[in-house]
Amino acid sequence: MDDNRIIKTEYAQEMQKSFIDYAMSVIIARALPDVRDGLKPVQRRTLYDMYELGIRYDRPYRKSARIVGDTMGKYHPHGDSSIYDSLVVMSQDFKKGMPLIDGHGNFGNIEGDGAAAMRYTEARLQKVTQEAFLGDLDKDVVDFVPNFDETEKEPSVLPVKIPHFLVNGSEGIAVGMATSTPPHNLAEVIDATKAYMRNNDISTGELMRYLKGPDFPTGGIVTNKDELLEIYETGTGKIKIRGRVEYEKQKSGKTNVVITQIPYTMIGLGISKFLSDVAALAETKKTQDIVDISNQSSKEGIRIVIELKKDADPENFVNLLYKKTRLEDTFGVNMLAIAGGRPETMGLKAILKAHVDFQYEIATRKYTNLLAKERDRKEVQEGLIKACNVIDLIIEILRGSKDRAMAKACLVEGKTTGIKFRSRESKVMAAQLQFTARQADAILEMRLYKLIGLEIEALISEHEETMANIYRYEDILERRDSMAQVIINELEGYKKEYGRARRTSIENAEEAVYREKEVEEMEVVFLMDRFGYAKVIDAATYERNKEAADSENKYVFTCRNTGKVCLFTDTGQLHTIKVSDIPYGRFRDKGTPIDNISNYNSEKESIVYLTSQSQLNLRQVIFVTAQSMMKLVDGGEFDVSKRTVAATKLGEGDKVVNVMSLIDQRSIVLQTREGYFLRFPIEEIPEKKKGAVGVRGMKLGSKDQVEQVYYIRNGVETSIVYKEKTVLLNHLKPGRRDGKGTKIKV
């Protein structure tokens, strides 16, 4: 290979350049809308293609697959799914406050069900799209650019007459940036635009007298009205939204909580997530007010019914929903758009300025073109009127000419050479004719019926209308006030025809406060069987079934129903569980796996010790590890608010083999895997913090480790069975901590 063809470049520089090029391509050509028309490229191309195909609002629907295929083949070669997804979203009235496409068929629903395949659905333009987005495309008001293979032309921006970027909002993720603009009410946006046009120095606060805030298609309530001004000044912030709730009294005295509007952020699978979250509140005993939940939503609107118990406080329950579910949510605002060819985060005033400047630009181009056409028409009309006054002479010229060129030369330049006239006077008059070339062509193409009296009157009337149009267009182009009034009149027309009442309420709502019902404190008994199923029963039930309870369960202890249970594992973790989260019921109830109500994972760790936090607080706790590290820890250190904390520090490869509350134990016995037993007083174990490793309790062989730990109380004979041999622990030779111990022969 020729070395001259190899381009040597720094790798980092090439990567940087390539990534920046890619990022800008995504930002400009895919993900972000243009502030002028509020459309992303895929949306703009889809609408333009429908316009080109003639799929108008007053014509039959066409298959979505036809639209998608044509758009992909001509303008957007990035795959059919992105085009169809864009078409679907532009037709969904629950996502767009003003749908741009009229969909026919299954275009999905608010609960998250997707649209049918494009071969089954049909679509056409909405009337507002045709009038306000595409209406002036034939008047050369925007630039057309080559498509991806330079076989077609496409508009660089649509001549949109309304501030669409605000009306429908936009969401998109680019590289290193994202846009998230909420939808607004068309009538309010138009009023704000008019106010800006009348006073360019108007403040954002004054603009918000007209544009109150976002208006979501799903309704709901914006609860942070006082924060909106800063959001609309900066273009960024967080809007807090709540669903709308009604209370329905039943004949039985119960109250139903009915959700009739949801937050905009809950569109889609958020509704099913909300229903499961409400069910979880009941299952985890966060509330015991719920009797039943049903989703009765239909095409008429959202209706989620939660039936409450007779003694429930509905308002307090709704506050719980606001705090624990997405019935209250935040919408992150980042009004980022392409302005002047570059991405820019814009406040309300900047967006309106960009829109109004664009309106003046397209109005200037529109009326400049219309004026040129009217002036051409005026020239032709004046030529025809003049020709009607000398029609006999023109007929004589036409009859005496050998060809069209000779007749045209006579009409334009007065050349009479070669033309046969009936009289000398006619020749003299013909030599004085001075029609323009365009007038001459119109005269030569004029039909005889145009000489009828009524036709001549119509021509004169048409000329007067043309002159009026010229005067009007010149006035619009020369006086900014006149052009502003034209733009305002158009906006008024769109407001009158397409404006609607606001759906979203805007207010300053107090933060939701949920008051938990005071639980009557009582002593209960915790039970957990060897399979890890846990439950809580009252003390009286336990006393009646004490023998069965003790024999069938691995852990049995008393605790307060307002307290916590502490679960220590071999990995050195402490998991705490609220007693109120543990199922409370009958003695024969199965209970719930301990994994389901705590962070404990039975597949990764094993339970070493279970007890109540109230018992721990009063005592010291002994820790023993496989590598014979030991310590005492004050039980109060485990009174923690977190659900999981480290209960002790472990060396590499070590694990906890025993945790025990110190009550009246006097001696401890360590037993190793190889059969060594060491007995020594508990007083020899020092007290440490829970974050400490501890001290060595026993000297171990190279492959030996502590396997079991036993405790001896004063005056209590304690024996165990070790490899089928009974060992009396009280008779073991007393030793000292960190000794080797005695090997039991079997």
Enter the DSSP assignment of 7: P
Q: Which residues contact 612 (CB under 8 A, 6 or more apart)?
A: 526, 557, 558, 559, 560, 563, 564, 565, 566, 579
Q: Is 120 a catalytic residue?
A: yes
Torsion of CA 699, 704, 709, 713, to 10 degrees: -40
Q: What angle do CA 146, 147, 148 make, to 5 degrees?
A: 125
User: What are the residues facing 611 on neighbouring strands?
Assistant: 566
Other residues' Cβ atoms within 10 Å of the Cβ of residue 428: 12
User: What are the residues facing 172 on neighbouring strands?
Assistant: 179
* CA separation for the pair 242, 265 (Å, rounded): 10
Q: What angle do CA 265, 270, 276 make, to 5 degrees?
A: 140
Active-site hit among 51, 61, 120, 609: 120
Structure token pair of residue 12: 């980092």
**Residue-wise DSSP of 320-347:** HHHHHSTTEEEEEEE-EEEETTEEEE--
Interhelix angle 348-389/391-400, nearest 10 degrees: 80
Interhelix angle 348-389/186-198, nearest 10 degrees: 80
Which amino acid is present at 295? Answer: N
Residue 251 three-state SS: coil
Nearest CA among 99, 98, 106 for reference residue 122 = 106
Residues 707 and 674: beta-carbon distance below 8 Å: no
* CA separation for the pair 565, 527 (Å, rounded): 11
Place of tokens 């300053």: 508
* CA separation for the pair 241, 220 (Å, rounded): 7
User: What are the residues facing 181 on neighbouring strands?
Assistant: 170
Residue ranges in 479-544 assigned as alpha helix (H): 480-498, 539-544
Nearest CA among 25, 313, 352, 32 for reference residue 194 = 352
Phi, then psi, of 15 in degrees rounded to 5: -65, -45
Structure token pair of residue 488: 């305002």
In Å, the largest CA–CA distance within the chain is: 157
Nearest CA among 447, 452, 409 for reference residue 430 = 409
Residues 207 and 348: beta-carbon distance below 8 Å: yes
Q: Which residues contact 367 (CB under 8 A, 6 or more apart)?
A: 473, 476, 477, 483
Phi, then psi, of 593 in degrees rounded to 5: -55, 135
Structure token pair of residue 478: 């020369």
Residue 707 three-state SS: strand
Enter the DSSP assignment of 64: H
> What spatial distance separates the first Cα and last Cα of the chain, rounded to whole Å?
83
Other residues' Cβ atoms within 10 Å of the Cβ of residue 32: 24
* CA separation for the pair 381, 435 (Å, rounded): 12
* CA separation for the pair 56, 124 (Å, rounded): 6
Cα-based distances in Å from 292 to 53, 308, 309, 495, 593? 52, 7, 9, 44, 25
Other residues' Cβ atoms within 10 Å of the Cβ of residue 422: 11
Sheet strands side by side (includes 122-125):
62-63, 122-125, 101-104
Active site positions, annotated: 120
